[in-house]
Each structure stands twice: as structure tokens, then as C-alpha cells.
Amino acid sequence: MDLALAFHHTVRDDQDQLALTVARLRETTRGGDFAYYVDIAHFMADLPLPHAFDAQWIGGEQSVRERWRGLVTARRDHLRATR
């Protein structure tokens, strides 16, 4: 659920709520399970990764980053068009 919230806060450009959500994600994935969710949240928000990059992404980090960021920008564009 926190990953979906990170998407929502990123689309709304709510940096404070995004920071809280990412911190919660970091805490809940500290054991290693789903730790890549923290990376995805950073990709969506176009933020640098706060740690050494551990995950190996198919197609490379930059490609994955661009795809996640593209979802955010597409959603923002859609919301602007419907207002």
C-alpha cells in the first residue's frame, strides 16, 4: 500500500507526505523483502537512490527509472486534461 501512496504523493508533488511514505517503506522493507519498493519510490519521484544500488534491473537502472517516472508524468498529464 505504501508504494501506491508514494505514487499518489509523487503525482500530487506532496514532498512532505512522500518523504514520510518512503521512510515507512524503508522501515517495513528493512529485512530485505520487497526492499526494491524503496528504489521504485525514488524512481517515481526522480530522486537519487540513498544507498548503494543493490537490485539488478532488467534493462538497467536508467531504463526502469524512466518507465516509473513516465507513469507519474502520464498521470499528471491526465489529471490536468480532466480539470
**pLDDT score of 83:** 86
Per residue in 7-18, pLDDT (tens digit) is 999 999 999 999
- For the chain, the structural domain boundaries read 2-81
Average pLDDT, the chain: 93
Q: What is the pTM of this model?
A: 0.91
CA geometry: angle 42, 24, 59, nearest 5 deg: 30
Phi, psi of 58 (to 5 degrees): -65, 125
Reported as a single tens digit per residue, the pLDDT across 40-63 is: 999 999 999 887 667 888 999 999
